Amino acid sequence: MRPLVVLAVTFALIGLAPFAIASDYWLNLVIMTLYAALLGQAWNILGGYGGQFSFGHAAFFGTGAYAVAVLQVELGLNPWLGLAAGGLLAAGVGAFVGFCTFRYGLRGSYFALVTLAFAEVLRILSNSVWFTGAGVGILIPLERGAASFQFVDKAGFFWVIWGMALAAFATAWWIGHSRFGAQLMAVRDNEDAARALGVDAFRVKMAAITLSGFFSGLAGVFYAQYFLYLDPYIAYGPAISVESLLVPIIGGMGTIFGPLLGAAALQAVAELTKEVVGEAPGISLAVYGTLLVVMVLFMPRGLAGLGARIAGLGPRARRRRAARLEARNA
């Protein structure tokens, strides 16, 4: 139960942000951190808990983003309904990709590259069909107001992304504490062994990729409504796929708080390097990349791993470890 308490307290504290922060700039940073955490948690559900590395989460993100934009611009659908449609369509794409790959037993790098190929296929398609605006992109008409999912102030957007992230993190908690989650992790650790124990690996992985796609799609919907313009490169380009996996790996894969830690760390590093290093083109990103390498050098298991290691130095953890060791030796 303890992670659930920590989760509730963390999100309650984050929820104070719009009351405590008057600055749009800082609130925007919090919003973008939650948005990255959502992207990361979506990836984490499949990659961290399920062990299926995807290089193509843009396929889901872009589908959610385009769904809300296209339905709104072409069919006049209210974006709040588009939100549901975006999530579901992205989940559908997730299921489709999962069906095509898991059915044929693709794993590891093969799976990773096929997801990437799917994202590219969608990028190229969105660049060619008329309803996405093709290369010209699609612009959601400016119409400020909560009813049109375009809040006048940032607090409105904050609550949307906060809710989406909370749902994703609660799902991650459920995965850590349910029979489904146990099966998913068993598949990750040793698929053949899990099968031998009667786990339907295909079904479990399908569920994971569908959930993962759903939350990635929500992030896409949010992006579309926050920035109001999409083109194939923004929606389905590799940058989103990379961010999706970077966040949880830096934070700690397969841990509930990993994506949040990773998102916060990356956001902080990006802002700090910008401020400290200055404006010479390229230098701040070069420093950002260097910090990334340094982080991996010293935190091989991500920030969450580092946290666990520090916690593991405490007397209680030492006693627990000793007890475990004794139990095993007995």
Considering beta carbons, is residue 194 or 299 the nearer one to other proteins? 299
Considering beta carbons, is residue 18 or 82 the nearer one to other proteins? 18
Question: Minimum CB separation from other proteins for residue 189, in Å?
Answer: 14
228 φ/ψ sector (left φ>0, alpha ψ -120 to 50, else beta): left
Question: Minimum CB separation from other proteins for residue 330, in Å?
Answer: 29
Instruction: Scan for tokens 């991500």, then name that residue.
Output: 302
What is the Cα–Cα distance from 263 to 227, expressed in whole angstroms? 20
Q: How far is CA 38 from CA 98, 184, 216, 314, in A?
A: 20, 20, 7, 31
Query: What's 77's DSSP letter?
Result: -
Considering beta carbons, is residue 174 or 288 the nearer one to other proteins? 288
Considering beta carbons, is residue 7 or 70 the nearer one to other proteins? 70
CA angle, corner 56, sides to 52 and 58, nearest 5? 130
Question: Minimum CB separation from other proteins for residue 203, in Å?
Answer: 19
Q: Two tokens at 278?
A: 């200055």
Question: Minimum CB separation from other proteins for residue 222, in Å?
Answer: 11
Full DSSP string of 26-92: HHHHHHHHHHHHHHHHHHHHHHTTT----S-THHHHHHHHHHHHHHHHHH---HHHHHHHHHHHHHH
Question: Minimum CB separation from other proteins for residue 316, in Å?
Answer: 26
Instruction: Scan for tokens 């339907």, then name that residue.
Output: 200
Q: Which helix (H) or strand (E) holds 226?
A: helix 201-227
- What is the length of the chain? 330
For 227, how many CA atoms within 13 A lie in the half-sphere containing its CB? 19
Question: Minimum CB separation from other proteins for residue 325, in Å?
Answer: 23
Question: Minimum CB separation from other proteins for residue 285, in Å?
Answer: 4
Considering beta carbons, is residue 43 or 215 the nearer one to other proteins? 43
Considering beta carbons, is residue 114 or 264 the nearer one to other proteins? 114
238 closest CA partner among 120, 148, 93: 120
> For the chain, what is the radius of gyration of the CA atoms?
20
Considering beta carbons, is residue 56 or 217 the nearer one to other proteins? 56
Instruction: Scan for tokens 């790959």, then name that residue.
Output: 101
